[in-house]
Chains A and B, each alone.
Chain A
Amino acid sequence: MKGLLLRLEPLIWLIFGGGIMVGTMLLTGWVAVVGIGVPLGIFPADALAYDRASMLGSHLIGRVVLALLIILPLWKGAHHTRHLSIDFAGGERDVLVAPLLYGIASLGSVLAIVAVLRL
């Protein structure tokens, strides 16, 4: 498992870097509107009415943006959480922690693609 993780490290770093850069850029606006602005009434609820949300989400650009803002933060999160675990609990548990976190990110990535294809 340690060898596999080392071989996958360049690929994981690529998606992790994308998560920090692109994920951060996409999450800022998403969180500001969907997570805070509309629920607190700062933006009109009609902006995310079903018909409009469905129209935006089912557009090709919408699908790509939604997939990226799910997948990239998942991988950024998995990699940083793994290193948080190594910093606090050492490397011995990494053979369990890393596959668990990357497994969640992988499953979440597959589900994200399915989710945007369903729109």
Chain B
Amino acid sequence: MRPDVPAHPHAMQPSKPGSTRTAPPMRPAKFPAGGNYLRYMLFDATGIVYMLAGLVALGIVWQLGNGEAAWAAQMQRLSNPIYVLFHLVCLASVIFVGVRFFSLFPKAQPPRIGPAKPPPAVVFFVGLYGAWIGITALLVAVLAGGIF
């Protein structure tokens, strides 16, 4: 991938030509795996994992609705190393997304929210991580048979 070659010159084309002449868009030199681009692209790529995770979860819930035999077969399929490996990748992805997004959240606040200033970053940090840890702990306890 050569940084001196214009990449998809119409990708950011306005609907109407502007009065100011602009240079064709260039693919940045470090794209896609250099500098900050690596984390940015990995964050985007978790989309594929999330989509697959949603579809797998849909299949699991669907089989639960199909009765006891279908559920037992589904549980058996989940023991397949490919499913386990996928879910390990999925767990790594959700942790990566959570840490990145929750770190970004305080930085993305506007200077003012109506008449008030946004709360300090520590409030977001405690709130978001507290909710994440709390919901995860509750879900693990319920699904693993600790409560109910």
Report B69 CB to chain A, min CB distance, Å.
9
Report B102 CB to chain A, min CB distance, Å.
8
A77 to B47, Cβ gap below 8 A?
A: yes
B41 to A84, Cβ gap below 8 A?
A: yes
B62 interface contact, C-beta 8 A = yes
B11 to A90, Cβ gap below 8 A?
A: yes
A73 to B139, Cβ gap below 8 A?
A: no
B58 to A108, Cβ gap below 8 A?
A: yes
Question: Given B10, B51, B60, which contacts A81 in the complex, CB threshold below 8 Å?
Answer: B51
How many chain B residues sit at the interface, stated as a range, is: 35 or more
Residue of A with least CB distance to B48: A81
Residue of B with least CB distance to A111: B58
A77 to B51, Cβ gap below 8 A?
A: yes
Residues in B with CB closer than 8 Å to A101 are 51
**Per-position contact with A for B45-84: 1 when CB-CB < 8 Å, else 0?**
1111111111111101110110110011001001100011
Contact A20 to B136, CB < 8 A, known contacts A47-B145, A79-B47, A87-B41: no
A119 to B47, Cβ gap below 8 A?
A: no
In Å, the complex CA distance between A24 and B60 comes to 18
**Per-position contact with A for B84-117: 1 when CB-CB < 8 Å, else 0?**
1011101100110110010000000000000000
B57 to A70, Cβ gap below 8 A?
A: yes
B98 to A73, Cβ gap below 8 A?
A: no
B8 to A39, Cβ gap below 8 A?
A: no
B10 to A48, Cβ gap below 8 A?
A: no
A25 to B50, Cβ gap below 8 A?
A: no
Residues in B with CB closer than 8 Å to A35 are 56, 78, 83-84, 86-87, 90-91
Residues in A with CB closer than 8 Å to B97 are 20, 24
Contact A43 to B10, CB < 8 A, known contacts A50-B71, A69-B57: no
Q: Top 7 closest A-B pairs, CB basis? A: A80-B47, A90-B8, A35-B87, A77-B51, A29-B139, A47-B145, A118-B65
Residues of A within 8 A of B (CB): 19-21, 23-40, 43-48, 50, 52-54, 56-57, 65-66, 69-74, 76-84, 86-92, 101, 104-105, 108, 111-112, 115-116, 118-119
